[in-house]
Amino acid sequence: MRATRSGRSRGRKAALSDDEIEVQEVKPKMQKKRKPSHSTKSSISSLSMLSRTFNEGKVSTGANSADSAVSAISANNNKKNEVGKGGMGGDDSRQWIDKYAPLSLADLAIHPKKLQEVRTKLKEMVNGETNTRILLLTGPAGSGKSTVVKLLAQELMHEYAKNVKINKDFLINENEEENDDESSKYLVEFINSNLSESQSMVTQFANYLSEVSFLKGPNLKLILVEELPNIFHSETRISFQKAVNDWLSLPGSKLPPLVFCITENEFNDDQGERLYNVENNFIAETIFGSRILNNNKLARIKFNPIAKTFLKKQLDKISTCESASLVDISKSKIDEKIEKLSLNGDIRSAINCFEFWARYYKKISNENNDDVDDLFLTFGKESNLNLFNAIGKIIYGTNHRDIEIINYLKLQDIQNHGKDYSKIDQKIAKLSQSEIDQITISNVLASFSNKSVFFNLNLLENYSMLNSSNFPVCDELASLVDNLSLADIYNSKQMTEIGALLAITSTRYNMRLIKDKIDDDENLDNAYLKYKNNKLNFSRHYKFLRMFNQVKNGIKDYQLWKLSKLSSSTSSSSFLQDEDYGPIPTTLSETDCITIDGYLEPLILNSFRNQEKLRLKILSSHSSGVNYVPSAMLPKYPRVGGPFRSIPNLLSDKQVVVDDSDLLQDGNQYKSIEEKILNILVGDDSKINDEFNKDVDSSDTEFENDPIVESDEDTGTGIKKEKPKDEFLNDFDDSFSSSENESFLANEELEALLSQRKK
């Protein structure tokens, strides 16, 4: 193996030098083309490039005028060179996203508080000051999770290495070859490798973890897992979860810090069914299962989309650095673009879009069709901005007749071919409102034909926003809603085209009539023009579906557990009781689960809790002399499938991606709690008290608002975090304590109880 590898590397080196020659041939040409200002720039960039190559250990072959650096590094480390660095261009060929990757923690675009949070946690883990073994970073794409870890690893491990008095090179392994321990000093990353025949896909991760578990002490390395094994395969997933679980429960205090970076995302299918499984919801809950997530040796830090101000700063920085290549674009245009892109929340996508826009802007847009240009070329992720824009157009009518018409001309349908074309040109000004509306409708239809189900739901959510909901209830309104409901039927029968057309046309038409009515009616406050202040809401339909599926899963999970508990023999192997484990036995019906276990049992158990609470209260007030330590504090016993949520939270949602993952509770959680409750009721409360308090604590913090989200709100990203969700439970508790106060145990009995305890 070694021999072949070095042989290969020699071959590659030869090829490499070929490359360099080619690059040098091309270079003069390229420089001639450039503006003079660039030559100084390029030397600067090659300098920074050089330092970066050192810092990151990333080696770019054939980088401009950095040949010496290249050879120096490649001498050190030519194995890194060869990996995947085939035909290379010069400095130019790097994408901005790599070129301007943050080099230090100070360059990061994430919120300082969040950074501090991760740093503190990671530092504790590196120095072994905590029993946290796994750090789980979750968040949407492009929120800086991996970057933070990599930079922090440099900093912290460097410190650590100093403390341990071992001087090692400063390298981060970004490449695969996880067995190649030469190349990674501080951080190893799990990469699915091509398997040899002896290895099994299923156990690959477990093997990997057992290998890296020895990287401690002086060899300490941070283990980063960004790429997961194929968790879509349920056996692999179970094995993966088991491996993680084993890692958490391994005896022995010291293990290398293990960091997972999970980019959470939902995968939306067309049919609008939001199943709650790993295929559709690639989120920590479905990947790890709640058993692992609730383990107190796992710390989870959630990342939010990058706030607008931070993102803007980064883009501004890039635009200054790239000013040489941006000369052709007017400053105002750049600012406008940056302003738009900063709302993205995904820094990677924002930079990519910015680069693409900037690189290919200059040479085309000298005609003054910039606006049209922007309409047709939307780079970047599908955003709800377009959606809301279109919905606004349908509900309120368009503000930009000319743009609509130009769009329309482009998307003209065949029937009007050759006829209306010239006509429309002549009488743009003379077009009636209804004609403009038709044009708007066909434009919206053209861009949303793919997802009419989605669009219609959002129309339904938002139609009442007209004139701040200040309009008469009239026939038009009835016909609008009627048509929307018809459209819904059509959509479910795969007649989406009719559905979309009907819904959109009818909304626009009826909205116009209603608007006329408002205009005519002097009694009504005509706030029509103020509509811009009304925020549009995102349809709650999918949120409901998801919650429904969550609760269903919770019940399923609970049923399995309950049954296994009933047939006590299997209780020890409950970990493998996955949803895929087999058909649910019918001895415990879903209805029973919901009514008895889901509703009555928590009611009863919570009443115990309230009794205990009250008992303590009375005790402390009654016998002030007795130094009674409140011990067996029962936890709140949640409903199967999670608590009811208060209605206002469901009313509207301004986010596309609903972040209610912190609500997630499924059956697994009951295991621990009920066991504890049973233990307490039986009386064996000596050893569980501490655990209990911990549990209560952790469940409380789980619902705490993320401080960084608040700051995001200040900067106007408008991302709404839901309120703490245990409101209902509180109410529930309160109602209990108040109703039971009277019928509660008499003091004498309590005294007796107390004396019993003392014995």
Restricted to residues 262-291, the positions that interact with another protein (CB under 8 A) are 263, 265, 267-268, 270, 279-280, 282
- Only one of the segments 307-315, 391-399, 503-511, 658-666 lies at the binding site for another protein (rule: CB under 8 A); that segment is 503-511
By the 10 Å C-beta count (0-12 exposed, 13-18 middle, 19+ buried), 276 is classed as: buried
Reading the block at residue 103, the tokens are 């080099």
Q: Please give the Cα distance from 73 to 433 (Å, whole number).
A: 69
Angle between helical axes of 2-33 and 37-56 (0-180°, round to 10): 160
Angle between helical axes of 689-702 and 668-682 (0-180°, round to 10): 140
- Select 182 or 751, whichever has its Cβ closest to another protein: 182
The answer to whether the CB of 94 falls within 8 A of the CB of 60 is: yes
Q: Is 437 in the site for another protein (CB under 8 A)?
A: yes
Torsion of CA 732, 737, 738, 744, to 10 degrees: 150
Return the residue of 285, 322, 355, 653 that touches another protein, per CB under 8 A.
Answer: 355
How far from 311 is each of 136, 346, 632, 707, CA to CA, in Å?
24, 8, 49, 18
Q: Is 380 in the site for another protein (CB under 8 A)?
A: yes
Return the residue of 502, 514, 593, 729 that touches another protein, per CB under 8 A.
Answer: 502
* Residue type at 640 in one-letter notation: V
Binding-site string for another protein from residue 176 to residue 205, where x marks contact by CB under 8 A and - marks none: x--------------xx-x-----------
The answer to whether the CB of 42 falls within 8 A of the CB of 69 is: no
Q: Is 94 in the site for another protein (CB under 8 A)?
A: yes
Return the residue of 116, 416, 595, 747 that touches another protein, per CB under 8 A.
Answer: 416
Binding-site string for another protein from residue 615 to residue 644, where x marks contact by CB under 8 A and - marks none: ------------------------------
| CA angle centred on 120, ends 117 and 124, rounded to 5° | 140
Return the residue of 46, 54, 72, 83 that touches another protein, per CB under 8 A.
Answer: 83
- Select 377 or 696, whichever has its Cβ closest to another protein: 377
| CA angle centred on 111, ends 108 and 116, rounded to 5° | 90
By CB under 8 A, the residues from 313 to 352 that bind another protein are 346, 348-349, 352
Distance of CA 582 to the CA centre of its chain: 31
In angstroms, what is the minimal distance from the CB of 209 to another protein?
Answer: 18
Return the residue of 32, 165, 430, 493 that touches another protein, per CB under 8 A.
Answer: 493
In angstroms, what is the minimal distance from the CB of 599 to another protein?
Answer: 36
Q: Please give the Cα distance from 643 to 635 (Å, whole number).
A: 14
- Select 123 or 333, whichever has its Cβ closest to another protein: 333
Q: Is 86 in the site for another protein (CB under 8 A)?
A: yes
Consecutive H or E run containing 248: helix 234-249
* Residue type at 84 in one-letter notation: G
By CB under 8 A, the residues from 118 to 177 that bind another protein are 140-142, 174-176
Return the residue of 6, 7, 18, 218 that touches another protein, per CB under 8 A.
Answer: 18
In angstroms, what is the minimal distance from the CB of 329 to another protein?
Answer: 14
In angstroms, what is the minimal distance from the CB of 533 to another protein?
Answer: 29
Return the residue of 65, 130, 203, 412 that touches another protein, per CB under 8 A.
Answer: 412
- Only one of the segments 303-311, 396-404, 491-499, 717-725 lies at the binding site for another protein (rule: CB under 8 A); that segment is 491-499
Consecutive H or E run containing 298: strand 298-302
**Beta strand 281-282 with 298-302: parallel, antiparallel or unpaired?**
unpaired
Residue-by-residue DSSP string for 474-521: -HHHHHHHHHHHHHHHHHHTT-HHHHHHHHHHHHHHHHHHHHHHHHH-
Return the residue of 403, 486, 614, 658 that touches another protein, per CB under 8 A.
Answer: 486
Residue with tokens 């087999």: 582
By the 10 Å C-beta count (0-12 exposed, 13-18 middle, 19+ buried), 456 is classed as: buried
Q: Please give the Cα distance from 94 to 97 (Å, whole number).
A: 8
Return the residue of 165, 417, 430, 759 that touches another protein, per CB under 8 A.
Answer: 417
* Residue type at 257 in one-letter notation: P
Residue count at the site for another protein (CB under 8 A)?
Answer: 97
In angstroms, what is the minimal distance from the CB of 509 to another protein?
Answer: 5
Consecutive H or E run containing 561: helix 541-566
Q: Is 232 in the site for another protein (CB under 8 A)?
A: yes
- Select 255 or 511, whichever has its Cβ closest to another protein: 511
Backbone phi, psi, residue 490, to 5°: -60, -45
In angstroms, what is the minimal distance from the CB of 229 to another protein?
Answer: 10
- Select 231 or 259, whichever has its Cβ closest to another protein: 231
* Residue type at 715 in one-letter notation: T
Q: Please give the Cα distance from 104 to 114 (Å, whole number).
A: 16
Q: Can you point out the beta strands (E) in 140-257?
A: 187-190, 222-225
Sign of CA dihedral 15, 18, 23, 24: positive
- Select 588 or 658, whichever has its Cβ closest to another protein: 658
By CB under 8 A, the residues from 506 to 535 that bind another protein are 506, 509
Backbone phi, psi, residue 475, to 5°: -60, -40
**What is the SS3 assignment for 96?**
helix
* Residue type at 389 in one-letter notation: N
Binding-site string for another protein from residue 547 to residue 576, where x marks contact by CB under 8 A and - marks none: ------------------------------
Q: Is 227 in the site for another protein (CB under 8 A)?
A: yes
In angstroms, what is the minimal distance from the CB of 238 to another protein?
Answer: 15
Q: Is 427 in the site for another protein (CB under 8 A)?
A: no
Q: Is 724 in the site for another protein (CB under 8 A)?
A: no
By CB under 8 A, the residues from 43 to 72 that bind another protein are 60, 62
Q: Is 26 in the site for another protein (CB under 8 A)?
A: yes
By CB under 8 A, the residues from 98 to 117 that bind another protein are 98
By CB under 8 A, the residues from 438 to 457 that bind another protein are 438, 446, 450-451
In angstroms, what is the minimal distance from the CB of 59 to another protein?
Answer: 10
In angstroms, what is the minimal distance from the CB of 258 to another protein?
Answer: 17
Contact partners, residue 334, CB within 8 Å, separation at least 6: 319, 326, 358
In angstroms, what is the minimal distance from the CB of 308 to another protein?
Answer: 17
Sign of CA dihedral 192, 196, 202, 204: negative
Q: Is 390 in the site for another protein (CB under 8 A)?
A: no
Q: Is 89 in the site for another protein (CB under 8 A)?
A: yes
In angstroms, what is the minimal distance from the CB of 526 to another protein?
Answer: 23
Q: Is 377 in the site for another protein (CB under 8 A)?
A: yes
